[in-house]
Chain A
Amino acid sequence: MIKKDKNAIAPWEKTKWYYTDTAKSIFSALISIVIGLFVGAIIVIIVGLMSPTIGTKDMWDGFKLVLFGVFSTGRVGGTLTFGFNPVNIGNMLFRAMPLILTGLSVAVAFKTGLFNIGAPGQFLMGTMGTLSVGLWLGWAGCPKGLAWLAAFVVGVLLGALWGCIPGAFKAYLNINEVITCIMTNWIAASLVTWWFDSHNEFKNSAEGGKVAYIIPLKNVGVTTPKLGFGVLCPGSQANGGFWIAIIIAVGMWIIMSKTTFGYELKACGANKAAAKYAGINGKRNQILSMAIAGALAASGASLYYLSGNTEFYWSTYMSLPAVGFNGIPVALLASNNPIGVIFAGIFMSMLNISGLQLKNLTMYNEYISDVIIAVIVYLSAFSLFFRQFLGKRKKNDKEIKNANAEAFEEYVEEKAAAAGNAEKEIAEGGNE
């Protein structure tokens, strides 16, 4: 994942805010989003023109819903109405919660130079741990708070363990983590199905028509409290898990950018050989990074199923949870920045809600939002191209050149002064 930016800014250069790296990342993400939405809208229009059953009005409705689906308030007398819809907003934040966490999972691994495509498997392992422990402790009459915590922790630990496997294969055997992640995904899918298939007590047999579903955790009362969403977005699925996801994201930002451990992880990702030369244990860091990634993906699963209003279809050996794969576009869109992941996750779930509105209110179906997401991923692959395009500064401008020359002199002086101070301190220390 090493990328050279020809227009990188030297430390002494004084430049406009829109040439900074963060700004460029945001701009290139916005370009991807705009083109992605544009492609989605064009597909809606082309399909509308080609299909005899979709009229011009339906086509226009589809176009509007692709862009503003989350603000849709349904249909009144045949025309779409838009406005603040607390249920949609709340559901959007609820769906954003696991996406933020799987996005973080992919982003942290990316920072260490690993591509964590194993988030679906880690998500499934987290689901298994949380549901089993939550139900067991709930039936055993354990205090609700304690049961919640235990279910969450066990889910997260199982995910971390599952993430360790590709990490260890990469560190000790140098096997491409993409292949091992994919294998562990499918192993997890079979394993989870096997586990629930052989434990009949978890199966929801009380409710008719719920074949192959696990008993939801709300039946034993082990659920995340609403923490304000009951007032903010009444009637929606949102709950306190969203706040927990944000706290985890901020925590990851602090770990990645403010601690030595985070620096070591990033160093391994930027240049493994240099990191080794600097005395960083690359193998340990690769495994740890994958373990953290696994824990994050699994925490998404834990919070999702601890919300109580979700049900798990256990016969999943043929399919992997899409939310795990959607962590990849979230991380890419956020340029692997943990804070950016929050916004990217909310954006992705907004697209998801738009897709559902499209399905409910027009002739189109929800898969158009997946198309948009895929286009955004495709475009984020060449974010380097966008960045270079954005970063074409006028280097030959005389004024800028002179200003930069001055800034360079100042920078050198500053450094020299700092070095002088340091020498003095050393000399003084020696005298004492």
Chain B
Amino acid sequence: MVFLIQQTMLYAVPLMIVALAGVCAERSGIINLGLEGIMIFGAFMGVIFIRIMQAAGWTQDKGQQMVIIALLGAGLCGVVFSLLLAFSAINLKADQTIGGTALNMLAPAIVLFFIVLIAHQNSLKINGAAGSWFMITSKNFTGQPGGFESPIMNVFFNNVYLTTYLCVFFFIVVSIFLYKTKIGLRLRSCGENPQAAASLGINVYKMRYLGVMLSGFLAGMGGFQFSLTISNCTSSGQVAGYGFLALAVMIFGNWTPINIAVCSILFGLFKCIAAVYATLDLNGDGVYLLNDLGISPYAYRLMPYVITLIVLAFTSKSSRVPKAEGIPYDKGQR
């Protein structure tokens, strides 16, 4: 059970934060289809930062400082990368879907080009295993390895990554920013009716830039979180479709943070079951229920996607899309 909750958290947190990245952009009126690309770029840069710090002689005892720096660095690189989309979509009024697709193609191409140059293979790893370098265990708190006495502490503070909580922290901060502050309200108004917003003195260009850059920051961090936890701190020019899945979570969660959090936990659970079903022992009696059912592993793997489709079919009527999303802002238009 502990294992299942922790694994679900690993799968859910990147989805959650990247889905919120989608919300930031879409609420300001820009469809950010390039989330996958930004994630790939952020994942690569995060791994590069860690490698640089390792090469500079930082050792295992500075593991937590390293991941924090890498996480923020990946976020900032995500911002820089997302500026490509912002420039084409906001200044040149280009088609946002195509711009996002270009980001999705550009990121793996550039990343793989440099990975092959650096590592002479298709994936770039850090020195050593991510788990032993960057995981928090009970040793960090009590000085005693091997877990806590309280089961709740075991679930949340033994063998977990600090970045998971940082991502949750940023998720909450950005949600509050979007929904409880003046600038957040202005940003959202640009996604609904930019002309009306402009008539009230709001600079739509600035707000849309802010939306896309926030989106890049969150997606870059999400990408690093993915590569750190799920792919064991390896960057290989892909994030297994997580950016797209996050888009689906965003639509499914109706563009609101709380719904997104719930949906991503649900999806994380399904993703997690697909990954670990063979060794999943819920009540600890040595019976691997899901494995014994004899269903093909690929059935579990396509489950999250099929469920997304079905859920979208049922919830589409009540979904509330930001009205001006995807439409380039034209000052002269009324």
- Using a CB–CB distance below 8 Å, which chain A residues touch chain B? 1, 3, 43, 47, 51, 115, 117, 169, 173-176, 178-180, 182-187, 190-191, 193-194, 197-198, 317-319, 325, 328-329, 332, 364-365, 367-368, 370-371, 373-375, 377-378, 380-382, 384-385
Are B98 and A365 neighbours in the complex by a CB distance under 8 Å? no
Which residues of B sit under 8 angstroms from A193, Cβ to Cβ?
298
13 CB contacts below 8 A, A to B, read A115-B97, A173-B312, A174-B316, A175-B251, A175-B316, A179-B312, A183-B305, A197-B296, A328-B105, A365-B116, A371-B109, A375-B102, A375-B106
Are B101 and A377 neighbours in the complex by a CB distance under 8 Å? yes
Are A191 and B94 neighbours in the complex by a CB distance under 8 Å? no
| Contact string against A for B residues 289-329, beta-carbon threshold 8 Å, 1 for contact and 0 otherwise | 00000001011011001101100110011000000000000
Which residues of B sit under 8 angstroms from A377, Cβ to Cβ?
98, 101-102, 105-106
Interface centre among B95, B105, B240, B301, by most chain A C-beta atoms within 10 angstroms, is B105
Pick the contact of A190: B88, B105, B302 (CB < 8 A): B302
Segment of B68-76, B158-166, B241-249 in the binding face:
B241-249
A73 to B316: give the CA distance in the assembly, Å.
Answer: 56
Which residues of A sit under 8 angstroms from B88, Cβ to Cβ?
378, 381-382
A193 to B93: give the CA distance in the assembly, Å.
Answer: 41
Q: How many whole Å from A6's CB to the nearest CB in chain B? A: 11
Are B95 and A194 neighbours in the complex by a CB distance under 8 Å? no
Are A187 and B238 neighbours in the complex by a CB distance under 8 Å? no
Which residues of A sit under 8 angstroms from B248, Cβ to Cβ?
179, 182-183
In the complex, the number of residue pairs spanning A and B with C-beta atoms less than 8 Å apart equals 132
- Using a CB–CB distance below 8 Å, which chain B residues touch chain A? 33, 84, 88, 92-95, 97-99, 101-103, 105-106, 108-110, 112-113, 116-117, 238, 240-241, 244, 247-248, 251, 296, 298-299, 301-302, 305-306, 308-309, 312-313, 316-317
Are B299 and A194 neighbours in the complex by a CB distance under 8 Å? yes
Q: Secondary structure at chain A's binding surface: helix, strand, loop or mixed?
A: helix
Which residues of B sit under 8 angstroms from A47, Cβ to Cβ?
117
Asked if A175 meets B313 with Cβ closer than 8 Å, knowing A182-B241, A186-B302, A194-B299, the reply is yes
Are A367 and B302 neighbours in the complex by a CB distance under 8 Å? no
Are B102 and A381 neighbours in the complex by a CB distance under 8 Å? yes
**3 A-B pairs with least C-beta separation:** A370-B109, A378-B102, A194-B298
Asked if A368 meets B97 with Cβ closer than 8 Å, knowing A169-B312, A378-B84, A382-B92, the reply is no
Are A370 and B301 neighbours in the complex by a CB distance under 8 Å? no
Q: Secondary structure at chain B's binding surface: helix, strand, loop or mixed?
A: helix
Are B251 and A370 neighbours in the complex by a CB distance under 8 Å? no
Are A180 and B309 neighbours in the complex by a CB distance under 8 Å? yes
- With A193-B298, A328-B105, A385-B92 given, name 9 new contacts (CB 8 A): A182-B241, A183-B248, A186-B302, A186-B305, A187-B309, A329-B105, A365-B117, A382-B94, A385-B93
Are A325 and B105 neighbours in the complex by a CB distance under 8 Å? yes
Which residues of B sit under 8 angstroms from A169, Cβ to Cβ?
309, 312-313
Asked if A371 meets B106 with Cβ closer than 8 Å, knowing A194-B296, A332-B98, the reply is yes
Q: How many whole Å from B316's CB to the nearest CB in chain A? A: 5
Asked if A384 meets B296 with Cβ closer than 8 Å, knowing A183-B309, A367-B112, the reply is no
Are A51 and B117 neighbours in the complex by a CB distance under 8 Å? yes
A187 to B248: give the CA distance in the assembly, Å.
Answer: 14
Which residues of A sit under 8 angstroms from B93, Cβ to Cβ?
382, 384-385
Are B302 and A187 neighbours in the complex by a CB distance under 8 Å? yes
Q: How many whole Å from A196's CB to the nearest CB in chain B? A: 10
Q: How many whole Å from B83's CB to the nearest CB in chain A? A: 12
Q: How many whole Å from B192's CB to the nearest CB in chain A? A: 18
Are A179 and B247 neighbours in the complex by a CB distance under 8 Å? yes
Which residues of B sit under 8 angstroms from A385, Cβ to Cβ?
92-94
Pick the contact of B298: A175, A179, A190, A381 (CB < 8 A): A190
Which residues of B sit under 8 angstroms from A187, Cβ to Cβ?
302, 305-306, 309
Interface centre among A179, A180, A187, A329, by most chain B C-beta atoms within 10 angstroms, is A179
> Closest residue of chain A to B89, judged by CB?
A381
Interface centre among B92, B101, B308, by most chain A C-beta atoms within 10 angstroms, is B101
Are B113 and A378 neighbours in the complex by a CB distance under 8 Å? no
A133 to B241: give the CA distance in the assembly, Å.
Answer: 30
Q: How many whole Å from A124's CB to the nearest CB in chain B? A: 12
Asked if A371 meets B99 with Cβ closer than 8 Å, knowing A197-B298, A198-B296, the reply is no
Which residues of B sit under 8 angstroms from A197, Cβ to Cβ?
296, 298
Pick the contact of A173: B99, B247, B298, B313 (CB < 8 A): B313
Which residues of A sit under 8 angstroms from B108, Cβ to Cβ?
370
Are B316 and A373 neighbours in the complex by a CB distance under 8 Å? no
Asked if A178 meets B316 with Cβ closer than 8 Å, knowing A187-B302, A381-B98, the reply is no
> Closest residue of chain A to B251, judged by CB?
A179
A25 to B219: give the CA distance in the assembly, Å.
Answer: 34
Which residues of A sit under 8 angstroms from B312, Cβ to Cβ?
169, 173, 175, 179-180
Are A370 and B84 neighbours in the complex by a CB distance under 8 Å? no
A182 to B308: give the CA distance in the assembly, Å.
Answer: 11
Interface centre among A117, A180, A368, A374, by most chain B C-beta atoms within 10 angstroms, is A374
Q: How many whole Å from B109's CB to the nearest CB in chain A? A: 3
Q: How many whole Å from B47's CB to the nearest CB in chain A? A: 17
Q: How many whole Å from A30's CB to the nearest CB in chain B? A: 18
Q: How many whole Å from B142's CB to the nearest CB in chain A? A: 39
A383 to B2: give the CA distance in the assembly, Å.
Answer: 53
A180 to B175: give the CA distance in the assembly, Å.
Answer: 27
Are A371 and B110 neighbours in the complex by a CB distance under 8 Å? yes
Which residues of B sit under 8 angstroms from A319, Cβ to Cβ?
238
Q: How many whole Å from B171's CB to the nearest CB in chain A? A: 22
A406 to B192: give the CA distance in the assembly, Å.
Answer: 46
Which residues of B sit under 8 angstroms from A370, Cβ to Cβ?
105, 108-109, 112-113
Which residues of A sit under 8 angstroms from B306, Cβ to Cβ?
183, 187
